Structure 1
Amino acid sequence: MENLNLLFLTEALLCFMCPCLSKQTPRVSFHKGNPGRHLTHFSSHEVSNTTTLLLSENGDVLYVGARDAVLALDVSHKDVIMLRDKLDWSPSDKDLEQCSMKGKKKADCPNFIRVLQFLNTSHLYACGTFAFSPRCTYINSDTFTMNVKPDEGRGRCPYDPFQRNTAIIVDGELYTGTVADYRGNRPVISRHLSEGRRVDMKLDDTLGWLEDTTFISSSFIPDEEKIFFFFSEVGQEYNFINKFIVSRVSQICLSDVGGQRTLQRRWTTFVKAQLLCQADNELPYNVIQDIDTLPPAEGASADDTLFYGIFTSQWSVNSGRSGVCSFRLRDIKSVFSGNYKVLNRDTLQWSTQVQEKVANPGECGLHNASDNALRFVKENFLADDSVQPAGRNLTMVSTEQYSHLTVQRVKGANNRDYTVLFLLTESGYLHKVVLLQNGAHIIEEVQVFEQPQPVKSLELSKPKGVIYVGTSEGLVRVPVANCSFYWTCAQCVLAQDPFCGWDTVKRACVEASNIQTNLGQDVERGNVEAVCNSVTYTHRARFGPNILPAGQLVSVSLNEVVRLQCPAASQLSEQLWECPNNRLSPDLYLHLGDGSLSFVATPATLGHYLCLSTENGYQQTMAIYHVKQKSSLIAQTPTTYTLRQTHPIPSTQAVARAGLGLQTSVGPKKIEARQRGTEPTLSSMDAHVITTQLKGNFTPWTQEPVQSAQGSCYLKELVVVSVLLVLSLSLSITLLFYFVKQRCRRQTAPQTATPIRDSARRTPMELEAHKMNQFLNKHNGQSLHTEQANGFGCNGVFRGSNGHLPNTPI
């Protein structure tokens, strides 16, 4: 045991060292209400929790177990689901009052139908929680009425509506896996409705055959005459500090009627083994969530029956991930025929000890064995080996948390069988996955409900080619094929959908059938060139001499930041941009995360731009733009160019449909027209070109001017600089005049210090100086006259008409 604990500790350390798994991306995604994926809904304000589904053999009637009712829905019509009959089955007020007195919530006390099976050709058998007091009843499928007095449902149906259970009817007998007490502490696998010399059976409660069990599913294998149950429980064979959950498969034989003295009315053929869903050097995905049975191919042995299951992990290192594993019936039988663990009743420790086999546990017919043989099988019911997944590897690992699945085998156009899984995520999406030799490929995801649902179920109708999803909001019908969505041969092939193929006569993607032999399809590789005879052209071929592609004319101003949109052909494609007359330098161009191209409009960046979508080695043109300067356009009219020997250019609708989910570019009328065949579809083999304006694909936006690396001259900047220069010169001249004026004032300041009003007060020296000034004025009359005429004095200072400074007394 210590070695086993050390092994798991080592695996945990290795798991932390392993690189994280990359998220598997669905090729196409459809949100709820998207016209590209037609869904049919059924809901009613009087009906809720439509979570237990049962489909009639011909697929025309779907019986639904809901809250306080059983419904019969007419699903024979393609576009509508109609309510044919409704059978009310609700607890009385007294029952609801007793349920509340037990401490249960009022919302959990109604009758939730958890068992709904065909009893025979004329009756159904249904069981419900019935206010935490389970009841069962017979329903006439013709009149849709039930018997007056319901049966006791203990051991047939859970008490709690949130407890999982499983039930199956074989030859009129009900085999169930559920809890048999109010508290949910007694898990039991039992048989009911036995007739004649057969008796009802159940497990021996004293042996601890089941521990804290959560039942998942059950499957009947006719060739083995056995029923296999799948569940998870606490693994008592592992001695850990915390409870270690393991996934199990168990079996019982239909012929088992219990021992004569030992194990009376108890299973003598019950054995169980661990299902191991584990990748190399990682902790196992140990908690089973759902499982479905895939019958063997036509002509193959029953041992090739596969069980596909969803597993999650109880460890945080794998939190949020899901592992999908498949188990072969041959491997399960091999484990059950091997050695078994032995439980020491004194120490309650499990061990493997080689001992002589008195009987073979799990072998049918042990009810006639001796008491010694029955005591041996009573103690040896846990297989020593674990059931390994088919191929010793996981089918797929996803970062999505899956809750339910259903599986189908599909025959492709090449007459090969392909396995298709339909996986329901906790977030409300249905993933369609095809299993290929190089791994799982998610063809598409479809949103079936918006809010997380506590209880869900899937029901596959192979005759009708649809899947029914039951939720607390209502019922959703999803067609398994959506071939009309792919409008070209390339898209039809790249989908790698075994349901679809390209019809070369109709030039459309249609559903594959055994009758059609001319369908183009490549599920394994998705090779477009091999199927559609397409050629991938180089840059020189697309832009040869005098060849300009047609596209949308985009008028921009210089120094404007431009953003060109590029619709994606799928979520797996990559967007590439090409320009015939310029290299897309990272200094000038910015490739954004959504595939668009952003750059500044300069003379060097004007011209043609071509957006290409590359997927699986195939390129196709998604958008073409011709960027021109506004000022150079006299009339903004679409320009048509000639394109020779290049990729077919899809129409406006085709390019719009290529976007992710096609949520904004395609309206319902466009889709209906395409489905009616009124809208032309383009093949990748078309040689002609459709000239069109792709309006709405271009989104210009501006920001602060960005300096171009080419050093170009800008008219706007030149005008602004010139205006600023003129203003600066004017201010400088004004300041210069101001400083000159102040200087002149300072030079003439002494003349105004003492005003001279009376010549008599002058001294003899002053009178002599005054006479000298008058003499000089007579001789300098010409100069004075010039100054007076100009009005300026020294250094350009303005003077009055008398030759003196203004306001200065003479």
Structure 2
Amino acid sequence: MSSMSERCSQGNIFHFVVFKCRSFSGYNFSLCEFCVVADSPGRPVGLFTPPDVYNSTTLLLSEDEETLFVGARDALLSVNVSQRGGLVLNQKLDWSPTEKDLNDCSMKGKKKTDCPNFVRVLQVLNSTHMYACGTFAFSPRCTYISIKCFIFIFSCIKVYSGFCVPLCVLDGELYTGTVADYRGNRPIISRHLSEGEHVDVKLDDTMGWLEDPTFISSTFIPSEEKVYFFFSELAGEYDFINKFTVSRIAQVCTSDVGGQRTLQRRWTTFTKLPYNVLQDMTTLHPPEGASEDDTLFYGIFSSQWSVNSGRSAVCAFRLRAIKDVFSGNYKYLNRDTVKWSTRVQEKIANPGECGLHNASDNTLRFVKENFLADESILPVNQELTIVSPDHQYSNIAAQRVRAAGGKDYTVLYLLTETGYLHKAVLLDKGAHIIEEIQVFTKPQPVKNLLLSVTKGLVLVGTSEGIASVPVSNCSYYSSCAECVLARDPFCGWDLSRRACVDIDSVRENVGQDVEGGNVSEVCKPRLRSFSLKSPASELVYVSLNEVVHLRCPAASHLAQLHWERLNSQISPKIYMQHEDGSLSFLATPSTLGQYLCQAVENGFTQTLYVYQVRQKSNPTVQPSTPSRPQITRTSESGRGSTDATTKGVTTPQTKDETVRKYMDIRERQLLAKNPSYLQELVVVSVLLALCISALLTIALFSFRQRCHIRTAPHSPGSRRDAERAGEDVSHEREALKGNAPGAGKQNGHAHGVAKSPNSLSNGALNGSNGHLPNTPI
């Protein structure tokens, strides 16, 4: 299993050297401060999509950065770049293969969609001419183009075979990393169009010099007189079960013309070193007056192992460290066992050193067998610059920006594979993602990234068009707090204009804190200019027992969202706060009222949204499922979220899972400690009063019965009468039917009190034996 240290490790520079990054684990970077989409107000993104132009993926800026040259499918474009980022088509050149070329391409077994001429290389040769190369139906061709007139000068068929990828032009000579045939079986690093004492040279066919490489980019270091190539390839020095891919940096000297007998017209200064799977590389030259050894190379790395799929890392390497590794020991390849080992014998020469083309054959044989550096290049501070667990970066650009306090900061522009641009500033505590910008409305793979420092633009090329994004737009931050919290070295709070402005327009009395983003220190001491954006507010009318869902549109992803109620608490037994910061609860008399959504960042609290939840004036019978509350928007101020769904109030969809979730809220509410018990108290009181009344009635009845029994006279014949009554049941039944004397009289008082000896009481029927009691007068 390869860690990131292995991945950003093993590689060499035509003397190969290995770049070594640290492992992914334990590192992370902050979320983006502000995330916007292509159509967001205040953050313009220009899109250039000329008709009948496709695959505009190769970009080149003129030296004055006034013109953008675009390599597309079967075409070359000249585009004017304005100061505000607008792109205007100047001229279009058709460069299509002939029918014969297309037929030959099909005979090679290629798909018809792969046979057009895809322009892969655009490079300025000098002040008057440009060099372009295209796939041309899998028969690569190159041509010269007049920069001033933008016309073909002449076309050189197969100036060299293969698909050139990284290319560097020095004094009219082309240094390329490519393959020597359309099948991609013969990778080479070569120099072409040499004149005078310089001759065209290429890599020797010795086994192990290049192993299935993927070339990324190249750069020229004038003080070293060396061209550096960045690529990935299979690493033969590691004895793994699976093929192990590493990233390499290789070097060649521009003065190299090959050996006299050994390595004739072959590089004598080729060496390489490893790091891991490289995606893109950019060069950041040191500030004026600094040593060229401080040149920095920022590379994007990914992993070939599935455990780290979807993750990216950015590593920074210093030129001084690269030179030290190239000056160290080298590995030796045993041609019999095809095994690499560290050479222990005395080093005859230092591989990669310029001037070796004049060395003896013995020295050149040593150089030919020792081209892979033994050590790896460690990144700056021996740590990752940025690691992203969620985004796969594909392209990178870098620039140095001087902040208001005079300190220089490095700003990186990183493109994800789905078309999002991350703008990051490198701080002492680590990388801070200032903003994420959706370059295209529909995310799509991005093929090229170009930075124009003088125009202040980031240019992005894709298969559908070219996007131009300003490197900054300070007016996007509407308050001092937002301006400071962004920690954008381009922007500062202007005290006189009370606005967030580009620091180049005003250098004095500018509020800025790139390192800490401390609002209290920057904004509050300047009370006159300290202003907060007025929070947006809304009225929400709901019915009782209706689920209410309040959203809080926070632009900053670094802030913690917090909900407040006046003179009340947000109890988790009644309220549910979701991961996106929204709040859900059931509408009851106790949950109606005002709600404040607040953002807390760096100890600074700001109210973002105010809701007034009120009951509808004419409540009706509530449905069994939650319904959508009616919303009356009273005002909208400031910048809301870029997602339309985060503005205003919405209700959850009436899905079973959602309903069950909110029924749980209702159950929690019934069990809560704080709600009112007025209704329950009234019910209990009524029940208690009824129980007491019933008990008093029963007690009074029992008391009267006992008093009556004690005061009633008893005769000796009463018992005999009772016995006789049992014998004369038929006579009594006749009496009950009205046949007995006195049967027509009405019953007297209740509880068996008779008015006459022959009258019957209804209450006496309830006796235990069914007999009528003898009740004397």
TM-score (normalizing by structure 1): 0.75
Task: Give the 3-state SS of the residue equivalent to 1:205 in structure 2.
Answer: coil
Cα distance in structure 1, aligned partners of 2:116 and 2:587: 68
Q: Given the alignment of the two structures, is residue 99 of structure 1 paired with residue 105 of structure 2, yes or no?
A: yes
Report the counterpart of residue 215 of structure 1 in structure 2. Answer: 215
- The 8 Å contact of residues 487 and 654 in structure 1, kept in 2 or not, is answered as no
Q: Determine the C-alpha separation between the residues in 2 that align with 1:665 and 1:316.
A: 35
In 2, Cα distance between equivalents of 1:779 and 1:355:
146
CA distance in structure 2 between the partners assigned to 1:774 and 1:617 by the alignment: 96
Q: Which residue of 1 aligns with 2:751?
A: none
Q: 1:344 to 1:580 in 2, by over 3 A?
A: same
Q: Distance in 1 between matches of 2:606 and 2:446?
A: 43
Distance 1:775 1:135 in 2: 132
Shift of 1:394: 1.2
Distance 2:380 2:6 in 1: 22
Alignment CA distance shift 1:170-1:581 (3 Å)? same
Q: Counterparts of 2:418 and 2:488 in 1: how far apart (Å)?
A: 24
Partner of 1:418: 409
1:456 partnered with 2:447: yes
| 2:229 partner SS | strand
Equivalent in the alignment of 1:143: 149
- CA 1:19/1:61 → structure 2, altered by over 3 Å: closer, same or farther? closer
Task: Please show how residues 81-92 of structure 1 align to structure 2 within 5 Å.
Answer: 81-92=87-98
SS at structure 1 position matched to 2:469: strand
> Does the C-alpha gap of structure 1 residues 779 and 518 become closer, same or farther in structure 2, counting only changes over 3 Å?
closer
CA distance in 1, matches of 2:306, 2:372: 28
In structure 2, the residue matched to 1:726 is none
Structure 1, 36-45 or 623-632: larger mean CA deviation:
623-632
1:615 and 2:601 matched: yes
Pairing 1:519–2:505 present: no
Instruction: Please state how far the C-alpha of 1:376 moved relative to its aligned partner.
Output: 1.8
Query: Which moves more between the two structures, 583-592 or 568-577?
Result: 583-592
Q: Is the deviation greater in 526-535 or in 382-391?
A: 526-535
2:437 maps to which of 440, 446, 469: 446
2:339 — aligned with what?
349
Does 701-710 or 54-63 show the bigger shift?
Answer: 701-710
Matched residue, 1:311: 301
Aligned partner of residue 513 in structure 1, secondary structure: helix
Equivalent-residue separation in structure 1 for 2:613 and 2:525 (angstroms)? 29
Alignment of 1:421-570 (within 5 A): 421-449=412-440, 453=444, 456-513=447-504, 516-533=507-524, 552=538, 554-570=540-556
Match of 1:541 in 2: none
- Rounded to whole Å, the distance in 1 between the matches of 2:414 and 2:536 is 43
Structure 1 residue 19: Cα displacement: 6.1
**Selected match of 1:118 from 124, 128, 140:** 124
1:56 shift after superposition: 0.9
1:297 is matched by which residue type in structure 2?
P
Q: Hey, what's the Cα distance between the residues in 1 that align with 2:452 and 2:736?
A: 130
Q: How do 1:369-408 residues align onto structure 2 when only pairs under 5 Å count?
A: 369-399=359-389, 400-408=391-399
% of aligned pairs identical? 59
Q: Distance in 2 between matches of 1:156 and 1:228?
A: 20
Q: Which has the higher strand share?
A: 2
- Contact 1:111–1:128, Cα closer than 8 Å, also in 2: yes
- Say if 1:30 and 1:36, in contact at 8 Å, map to a contact too: no
1:609 is displaced (CA, Å) by 3.0
CA distance 1:446–1:554, change in 2 (3 Å) = closer
With over 3 angstroms needed to count, the CA separation of the structure-2 counterparts of 1:294 and 1:219, relative to structure 1, is: same
Map of 1:236 onto structure 2: 236
1:288 aligns to 2:278 (yes or no): yes
Query: Which whole-Å CA distance do the structure 1 matches of 2:569 and 2:234 have between them?
Result: 64
Query: Residue in 2 aligned with 1:108?
Result: 114
- Distance in 1, Cα, partners of 2:338 & 2:652: 75
* Contact 1:116/1:127 (8 A) holds in 2: yes
- Looking at structure 1, the residues matched to 158 and 553 of structure 2 have their Cα atoms a distance apart, in angstroms, of 61
The aligned residue for residue 283 of structure 1 is none
The one-character-per-residue Cα deviations of 1:181-203 (angstroms, maximum 9, x if unpaired) are 12101110100111122111101
- Say which SS state the counterpart of residue 385 (structure 1) adopts: strand
The whole-number CA distance in structure 1 between the counterparts of 2:427 and 2:247 is 26
Deviations 1:534-582 (A, max 9, x none): 799xxxxxxxxxxxx9965555554444333333241111111222322
Contact 2:419–2:446 (8 Å) recurs in 1:
no
- Preserved CA contact (<8 Å) 2:590 2:675: no
Task: Give the CA deviation at 1:776.
Answer: 6.6
Of residues 774-783 and 22-31 in structure 1, the stretch that sits farther from structure 2 once superposed is: 774-783
- In 1, Cα distance between the equivalents of 2:617 and 2:736? 73
In the other structure, the counterpart of 2:197 is 197
- Is 1:594 matched up with 2:580? yes
Query: How far apart are residue 716 of structure 1 and its match?
Result: 13
Residue 303 of structure 1 aligns with an amino acid whose one-letter code is: D
Deviates more, 1:62-71 or 1:708-717: 708-717
1:404 offset after TM fit, Å?
Answer: 0.8
CA offsets 1:617-646 (integer angstroms, 9 cap, x no match): 11011123444555699xxxxxxxxxxxxx
Deviates more, 1:323-332 or 1:342-351: 342-351
**Are the structure 2 counterparts of residues 715 and 135 from structure 1 closer, same or farther at C-alpha, using a change threshold of 3 Å?**
same
In the alignment, which residue of structure 2 is the partner of 1:300? 290
CA contact (8 A) 2:35 2:555 kept: no
The Cα shift of 1:453 comes to: 4.9
Equivalent-residue separation in structure 1 for 2:44 and 2:93 (angstroms): 30
Equivalent residues of 1:432, 1:442 under 8 A apart: yes
> Structure 1 residues 717, 296: closer, same or farther in 2, change over 3 A?
same
Which of 579, 595, 610 is 1:624 aligned to? 610
**Which of 45, 54, 57 is matched with 2:63 structurally?**
57
Per the alignment, residue 680 of structure 1 pairs with none
Q: Using a 3 Å threshold, how does the CA distance of structure 1 residues 366 and 474 change in structure 2: closer, same or farther?
A: same
- 3-state SS in 1 of match to 2:206: helix
User: Contact 2:416–2:446 at 8 Å: present in 1 too?
Assistant: no
1:33 shift after superposition: 2.4
Deviations 1:767-800 (A, max 9, x none): xxxxx9999799977879xxxxxxxxx99xxxxx
Distance 1:253 1:529, change over 3 A: same
Q: Which residue does the alignment assign to 1:643?
A: none
Instruction: Name 1:255's counterpart in structure 2.
Output: 255
Which residue number corresponds to residue 563 of structure 2?
577
CA contact (8 A) 1:252 1:269 kept: yes
Contact 1:68–1:113 (CA under 8 A) maintained in structure 2: yes
Cα 1:224–1:561, aligned 2, differ >3 Å: closer, same or farther?
Answer: same
| Deviation, structure 1 residue 408 | 0.8
Please, which of 132, 138, 144 is the counterpart of residue 132 of structure 1? 138
Alignment check: 8 A CA contact 2:283 2:296 kept: yes
Give the Cα–Cα distance (whole angstroms) in 2 for the partners of residues 247 and 596 of structure 1. 45
Is the 2:311–2:387 contact (alpha carbons within 8 Å) kept by the matching residues of 1? yes
Tell me if structure 1 keeps the 8 A contact 2:31–2:433.
yes
**Paired residue for 1:363?**
353
TM-score (norm 2): 0.78
Q: Deviations over 1:239-281 (max 9, x none)?
A: 2221111111111111111112221111111111123xxxxxx
SS in structure 2 of the partner of residue 174 of structure 1? strand
Report how far residue 709 of structure 1 moved. Answer: 4.9
Q: State the shift of 1:150 in Å.
A: 2.8
Matched, 1:336 2:342: no
Unaligned runs of 5+ in 1: 159-164, 276-285, 537-548, 634-650, 667-695, 723-771, 785-793, 796-810
CA shift in 2, pair 1:451/1:556, >3 Å: closer
Contact 1:460 1:468 (C-alpha < 8 Å) held by counterparts: yes
Match of 2:707 in 1: none
Counterpart of 2:568, as a letter, is N
How far apart, in 2, do the equivalents of 1:774 and 1:465 lie? 117
* Number of residue pairs matched by the alignment: 663
Shift of 1:167: 0.7
